Amino acid sequence: MSTVKNNNIFEKTSFLGGNSSFIKELYLKYLNNPKSIPQSWVEFFDGLDEDQEVIKKEILGPSWVSRKNNNIKTNLLEKDLVEDKQESIGDTSILKDNYEKEKEQSVKAIAMIRAYRIRGHLIANLDPLEMMERKYLDELHPADHGFKKEDYNKKIYLGEYMDRNYATVNEIISFLKKTYCSTIGAEYMHIADPTEKTWFRVRMEKEENQIKFTSNGKKAILNKLIQAEGFEKFLAIKFVGTKRFGIDGGEALIPALEQIIKCGGQLGVKEVKIGMPHRGRLNVLANLLQKSYKRIFNEFAGEFDSSSADSAGDVKYHLGASSDREFDGNLVHISLTNNPSHLEAVNPVVLGQTRAKQFFHKDKKRQQVVPILIHGDAAFAGQGVVAECFAMSGLPGHNTGGTIHIIVNNQIGFTTNPRFARSSPYP
């Protein structure tokens, strides 16, 4: 702080200017013995964060000035402290009360923010059909954390706990609902690794969990959705009554896979191994792996490729394929593993293939070959092989560096509604 600022530090402070002698003497007492003054003043002077000797010299004045004229009258201070004790105590009490109240408000706000980070996903809007009632949790309401309605528009200090230093209760709630209770939920606070936990939090809260697509990006997504839907409509009309296990209602899987592989290529991924059930497999083969429509239609007609004698007679939605795709100049090899109608049986096969590929690529960091497992909502909850693969994923001999799991949820497992098939809180 400059000399000018030191000279004016008290006079320019609204509540100090009127009784500068009292404050100056109080500050000198603070320098000599902080315990001799009220704690609220100690906290205030601690916050000045200045060279105390410099301020002391400024208070006492230059050395050539007569101390007789410059000395602060101690009896004035004593008079203020004794005769006007009630007034001075009242002033410091107000300051202390305000400080304590603001501190309490900050603690309550942080507790509320943490509650949304932990439990907000439970009331996320994940049911587009609105068949399942969302039960509001009391612990996500401001009142549960001690806030009253008159507190809702008061600024609260948050520090670095959010991306803003100050916010009102209304602003905090609006931000948290958009981030954690919209159409995307995130459960991550149970993660033991602080770095991973922070990674999720930053990406969730940075843009209020809203992805901002460019105009070209939106058109690319629309194009893939049209391709996926058009493919299913054609098969439904051309091959009426033939089993195809369409992706109807889950067309977003196609642009999602495209984006995952595109981003992977940018990060150095060389190969992607995919395992999935029969639901939507034909669409993935056609629009992601670019298997020719002619071959797929021939399989509907009962024909098969004579070079693939091993798969002769197998149904078309059990078959796999592989291809090379280029995204933004990055070549990525994609392979979809064959899978019988035992749904999740392919999971350990894909993970084993991934581990082997990483070995041959000398990919010790496990960043060049990535497994993607696609599940149905009912099979994911109901088949034990899913849990077994999760349990083995952290073992040194089975670790693949992580797996991307995608659940295609059409809200009906064969013929069963979710509430009769699983006990999870999600639709």
**Domain segments of the chain as ranges:** 3-83, 101-205, 218-421
Least confident range of 85-89, 113-117, 308-312? 85-89
Residue 293 has pLDDT above 70, yes or no: yes
**DSSP H helical ranges for 302-393:** 347-360, 377-382, 384-392
Name which CATH class applies to 218-421.
alpha beta
- Tokens, residue 28: 């000198």
In which order are the strands placed within the sheet that holds 404-408? 321-327, 330-336, 271-275, 369-376, 404-408
The pLDDT, as a whole number, for residue 96 is 63
Residue with the bigger pLDDT between 172 and 316: it is: 172
Q: Are strands 166-167 and 156-157 parallel, antiparallel or unpaired?
A: antiparallel
Q: What is the CA radius of gyration of the chain?
A: 33
Q: Band the pLDDT of 56: cuts 50, 70, 90.
A: low
The pLDDT, as a whole number, for residue 76 is 41
pTM of the model: 0.73
Percent of the chain whose predicted confidence (pLDDT) is above 70:
79
The pLDDT, as a whole number, for residue 291 is 93
CA angle, 412 then 289 then 333, to 5°: 120
Rounded average pLDDT over 207-219: 88
- Tokens, residue 205: 């809260």
The C-alpha atoms of residue 138 and residue 419 are separated, in whole angstroms, by 23
The C-alpha atoms of residue 354 and residue 267 are separated, in whole angstroms, by 17
The pLDDT, as a whole number, for residue 382 is 87
In the chain, the amino acid numbered 1 is M
For the segment 256-274, what is each residue's pLDDT rounded down to a tens digit? 999 999 999 999 999 999 9
The pLDDT, as a whole number, for residue 129 is 80
**DSSP H helical ranges for 270-406:** 281-287, 293-300, 347-360, 377-382, 384-392
